[in-house]
Structure formats: C-alpha cells, structure tokens
Structure 1
C-alpha cells in the first residue's frame, strides 16, 4: 500500500542492487530470490491497492500476480513494504502501480512464500519490515510487535476500488489461479520493539500459509488501521 503523504519525500531512494543493506534485509528475513529493479508501466491503476491492481491485471491480461517486497532507502536503513507485481504470460515481472516518492522504478525482491489469507472475516496483512536493529516490524510508521496487521474486507478504500474495476474484495486473497508456487523460507525471529521510527511508512500486506497468528492480534490492529487500504 502507498502512503500518499510521503510520495515526494526527498530522502527516500531506490537502493542499489549490490547495496550491503539489501543483503542485510534478505538475510534477516530469509529471502533467497535475487533483487531486481523494475520499471513502472502505466496501465491505468492508481498508486494504492497494489494487491488488487495486480490481481485485476492478471485476470484481464493473463499471467500471475507475484508477491514480494519493495525496498526503500532512508539514510542508513531500509524499509521493505510488501508489494505485488504482474508476471505477464512471457514470465516477465512488471510493476503497474506508480512507485512511491516520485521514483520511476522499484527495487523488488520476489517472495513466492507470501500469500494473503482470511482468518475469521479478517484479512491477515503483513507489517513493513526494516533493517533497524531491534525493530524488525513497523505499522503506520511506528514499531510493531507483530509481523502482521488486520484489514476488514468492507474497508472503504477497498470497496471503492473494487467497484471501479468490477472485482470483489476477496480477490485480494491469494488463490491458485493467479498465484506463484508457494514455498516456505525459514521464519524470521521477532526482535524487541522499543524504539521510535523517525518517519512514516504505511503498513502493507504479507502472510505465509504456515504463519502463526491470532484473530485477537489482527483485530487489535484493525482498530487503528481505520480507512487504510492495502
């Protein structure tokens, strides 16, 4: 999901592929796919609701939706937002939602283990991830104790997007028709969360099928996510 309030933040940058912080991020969260820069291709989607946009793109044009992480650099740290891109019928990965911060590309790390699931009426979304010591997760710009947060399918932004493109909120969820093969990389360790992050990056979505989480923890974040989309 994109935080409109930071789209012109001059301190944000697209990391280099060989940057040491990228390796640090991948090691911390057990990611094994090679990072890549993806150029933006305009297909008429807004700069939010990436998961629904790419599902719609795959439904309309063939191919699959691929989950992963979009990495952004801030001084000496990286923030990873869960992000979806389109794998076209020729197996090329393409980003069709406008990148944040005025960029024309993103650094993307594919993660086929990521999936979006529903748990007792709540969509289990994954928090942002960071390279900040002792702060592995963030939600709405603040340290977060959980690797996930909850989103209700009747969220106003989601409903509005679905009405515009003729799809359903449940199309956000991962299904076998439009998903990559699901793998299970090693789980990451939760760090102690006791510091304040000095900037705001909105939470985005990611969940693994074998993840352990509770409805109560999801509902706790639903209460503060408000009208936020994904």
Structure 2
C-alpha cells in the first residue's frame, strides 16, 4: 500500500502531534522552483533554495496516512524571506503536504556521518520506523557523507560538499 495524504479531520493527526509535543500543522503546497530538485533530497534542496533565495529551512514532519497509522516523514520546507512556507521538493504523492514544524530537529554532520531522524508514527507501540519501513528503537539514524547518491545530487546543484547541516 502506498501512503496518501490524510484528511485534515483525521483524529490520528492530533494524536501524532501530542505524542511528539508538536503544536500545529499546516498544508504546504509544492512549487517547482528548480527542475533539478528531486523527491528524496528535501533537506539538500531546501538548503540550496535558502542559499540562493534567502529565508530559512524549516524541519518538521510531512504527515501521511499509511495503513492504520499516521506516519511523519522527516522533511524540510523553505520559509521564504516574506515568511511563506513552500515545499520545493517534488512530492511522491499529490501536490501538497501536511507539515508539522518541529523546532527540536537539527541535522548534524561530524565530518563522516550526518544525523537524520527516523520516521515517526501515531502508534505509541511503534513510535519510530526507519526509511525502509522497519521498526526502529531509536529516533535517529546516520547517513555516511560518502553516500554516492548524496554526493552526486549535491554535485548536480553545484555544491563542492555533501553536508546537509
């Protein structure tokens, strides 16, 4: 089963927000500001948009309905200098995301690995799932800086490194 955008009235959304101490969510539309931006590279794409257009990167959770859960996918959106939120990452489903900002999230880079966050769910018995959909026991995971697809993507944007931090 493929994830879908949940209804804004879905009662599992407030449960998800409460479980992870989040205050609110909003619907954020996709804007194709750069044809090079790819679906699986939101953190890099938004960092690139900020470097080129100002504003700031906002971390949070893109909320999806998947089977019987609401799943929060660690996601970044662009806050333009005028304060509006834009999703610059091509969505895998639809043209918008339900986005819950989370100021506690930060990508770190120790020079060898970058620390990212596991997906989260509305099910208290299964709070974290890894990028492949498997149960995880911890909220974070590490991505090697030497990851070939990350390096290639960053090079395609004209970067000389692959740090998302």
Partners of 1:46 and 1:98 within 8 A in 2: yes
Q: Distance in 1 between matches of 2:155 and 2:114?
A: 19
Shift, 1:131, TM fit:
1.4
Q: Does 1:98 align with 2:90?
A: yes
Structure that is richer in helix per residue: 1
2:71 corresponds in structure 1 to 79
Partner Cα separation in structure 2 for residue 18 and residue 56 of structure 1: 34
The alpha-carbon deviation at position 123 of structure 1 amounts to: 1.1
Name the residue aligned to 1:117: 108
Distance 2:135 2:71 in 1: 12
Distance 1:127 1:135 in 2: 12
Cα-Cα RMSD: 1.4
1:131-167 per-position Cα deviation (integer Å, ceiling 9, x unaligned): 1241100111110111111111111111001111112
Q: Does 2:62 align with 1:70? A: yes
Taking structure 2 as the reference length, what is the TM-score of the superposition?
A: 0.92
CA shift, 1:89, in A, is 0.9
Q: 1:118 offset after TM fit, Å?
A: 2.2
Aligned to 1:35: 25
Q: Which residue does the alignment assign to 1:58?
A: 50
Question: Is the CA contact (8 Å cut-off) linking 1:54 and 1:86 kept in structure 2?
Answer: yes
Alignment length (residue pairs)? 161
Name the structure 2 match of 1:165.
Answer: 157
TM-fit CA distance, 1:47 = 1.2
Q: Which runs of 5+ in 1 are unaligned?
A: 1-5, 174-230
- Deviation at residue 120 of structure 1 after TM alignment: 6.2
Query: How far did 1:94 drift?
Result: 0.1
- Cα deviation, 1:154-200, whole Å, max 9, x if unaligned, reads 11111001111112212x00xxxxxxxxxxxxxxxxxxxxxxxxxxx
Q: Cα distance, 1:55 vs. partner?
A: 0.3
Task: Return 5+ residue gaps in structure 2 as ranges.
Answer: none
Distance 1:65 1:130 in 2: 23
TM value normalised by structure 1: 0.67
Q: 2:39 aligns with which of 42, 47, 62?
A: 47
Instruction: State whether structure 2 residue 20 is matched by structure 1 residue 26.
Output: no
